[in-house]
Amino acid sequence: METLSSLADGFIIALTWQNILLALLGCFLGTIIGALPGLGPSNGVAILIPLAFSLGLGPTPALILLTSVYYGAMYGGRISSILLNIPGDEPAMMTCLDGYPMAKAGRAGEALALSGIASFVGSFIATWGLILLAPQLVKIALLFGPAEYFALFTLAFATLGGVSSTNQSKTAIATALGLGLAMVGVDTQTGVPRFTFGEVHLYDGIDFLVAIVGLFALSEVFVFLEHKHGSSDAEGQKMEIGRMMPTWAVLKSCIPTMFRTSFLGFLAGVLPGAGASLGSFISYSMEKKLVDREGTFGKGDPRGVAAPEAGNNAAAGGALVPMLALGVPGSGTTAVLLAVLLALNITPGPLLFAQKPDVVWGLIAALFIANFMLLALNIPMVGIFTRLLLVPPRILMPIVAMVSFVGIYGISGSTFDLYVMVGFGVMGWVLRKLDVPLVPVILGTLLGNAMESNMRRAITIDNGNWWTLIDSPLSASLWALAFIGFVLPMVFGKVMKARIKRMAKDEEGAISD
């Protein structure tokens, strides 16, 4: 009853005109960003962070806007997957396998509507999972001391590569780079400047909002300039949309699939570092083994569209659980949202539900509202979103650059921050060319100072004894999970990547035949 009462209070906060309009704006922009190949939810949220701060939004409205963009981008990724056979982001890759064959058979409208309904079911179940699971994790708050928090941060970094990673060494290098950037500024305990090189602007450290916009948004512009992608695929213009809603028989056959894969995707999202990509892949693979008795998956089976869409949207909601309850991001996009929370002077973790209940429950209520908005937007407005796929990148990328520069200058009013943002943009471009992940850099910059403070505090309390970091059963358990999370991708990562590529290749061969 207490949970339902808190949720009711959250709806009172979310159902103001400002928050409803922000949720609608976020859903619309998020769907557009998700539909455009290459941007994805991480970049979408990063691009719109300056807008949220330039508008002077409070913590709850800012989070409602950005999480609506997150949910919207997860919905939108399916549009280019189905119409162009180009995933809007990595989790939408599995949707191509059956969505594109449906579109080629003149059933694009059915595939888009069905994927929208599956996305709604996955997100709806994940939001209820967030309500039920996150408060339970809060109950362990009293068990956490400085040593346990240090171990928790280590777990976050160790699992950053995700289960789908094949190169943990690059993840470790990116994490070390992020932690190094966190050391820039005045040491909070000794007052000694570190790595500032006499530059006064660096005494306060590096603004992680500047780093995020540079690494994600500007690096995308530099990648475009390098490859000069001048036009979008015109095939989406030629594709027949067909009828806009699936028949009741098709929908009825997909309902069990949606519920099974939603629960599976949610569990995958709750695992730190797993994210929506794993949720999508596991959902499709398990459903194919379970129901594909006629060998129709990969040839335009509606269940092959519903499974990955329900799975990846449920995983997106599940990734919010460890981010809000433990301060450990479950995906790249939740790492960016974590930065927003910290910028708003809100510390995610076990005490968040007790200290800022209005923010948490207002956000959760807004997720319900955004989910219904997305369902209402995505079915009748599919025609509009598909036309947006025809916007050439040469027009889109200057807009991204303009929003980045104007937004950051609007927040800080400092030209120095613009230079830093460009520097991070170049860094992001170089790291992407070297196939080094960007999220560990951001998370290292975000959590580095808190990690260092907790380590120092724990050692000081125990009179310089370093063994205190693994002394308690909880910290020892977290260290064990961190070790498993770091080693597991090296054991299973290559196998899983190979299976995804082989499955995609087999289905493409079936399509061409």
pLDDT at residue 318, as a whole number: 84
Rounded Cα distance, 273 and 155, in Å: 10
Could you tell me the sign of the dihedral formed by the alpha carbons of 405, 408, 410, 413, in that order? negative
For the chain, the average pLDDT equals 77
pLDDT at residue 401, as a whole number: 81
pLDDT at residue 315, as a whole number: 85
Q: What is the pTM of this model?
A: 0.70
Render pLDDT for 327-365 as a digit per residue (tens, 0 to 9): 777 677 777 888 788 877 887 777 777 778 888 888 888
Rounded Cα distance, 304 and 294, in Å: 13
Q: For residue 261, give every residue at least 6 positions away whose Cβ sits within 8 Å of its Cβ, in sequence order, or none.
A: 122, 283, 284, 286, 287, 306, 307, 308, 310, 311, 314
Q: For residue 38, give every residue at least 6 positions away whose Cβ sits within 8 Å of its Cβ, in sequence order, or none.
A: 220
Q: For residue 277, give every residue at least 6 positions away whose Cβ sits within 8 Å of its Cβ, in sequence order, or none.
A: 90, 91, 93, 162, 164, 312
Residues of the chain above pLDDT 70, percent: 82
The phi and psi torsions of 186 (rounded to 5 degrees) equal: -85, 130
**Can you tell me whether residue 194 is helix, strand or coil?**
strand
Of the candidates 104, 88, 112, 81, the one whose C-alpha atom is nearest the C-alpha of residue 30 is: 88
Structure tokens given for 447:
């959590």
Structure tokens given for 169:
């060494």
CA distances from 427 to 162, 205, 208, 215, 431 (A): 22, 18, 14, 7, 6
Residues of the chain above pLDDT 90, percent: 1
Render pLDDT for 416-435 as a digit per residue (tens, 0 to 9): 888 888 999 899 899 888 88
Instruction: Please name the helix (run of DSSP H) or strand (run of DSSP E) that holds residue 102, with its range, or none.
Output: helix 96-104
| Confidence check: pLDDT of 234 > 50 | no
Render pLDDT for 445-488 as a digit per residue (tens, 0 to 9): 877 877 888 888 888 888 888 888 888 888 888 888 888 877 77
Q: Which residue has the higher pLDDT, 27 or 277?
A: 27
pLDDT at residue 426, as a whole number: 92
pLDDT at residue 161, as a whole number: 54
| Confidence check: pLDDT of 19 > 80 | yes
Q: In the predicted model, what is the mean pLDDT of residues 161-189?
A: 75
pLDDT at residue 314, as a whole number: 87
pLDDT at residue 100, as a whole number: 78
| Confidence check: pLDDT of 236 > 50 | no
Classify burial at 121, counting beta carbons within 10 Å of its beta carbon; exposed 0-12, middle 13-18, buried 19 or more. Answer: buried
Classify burial at 247, counting beta carbons within 10 Å of its beta carbon; exposed 0-12, middle 13-18, buried 19 or more. Answer: exposed
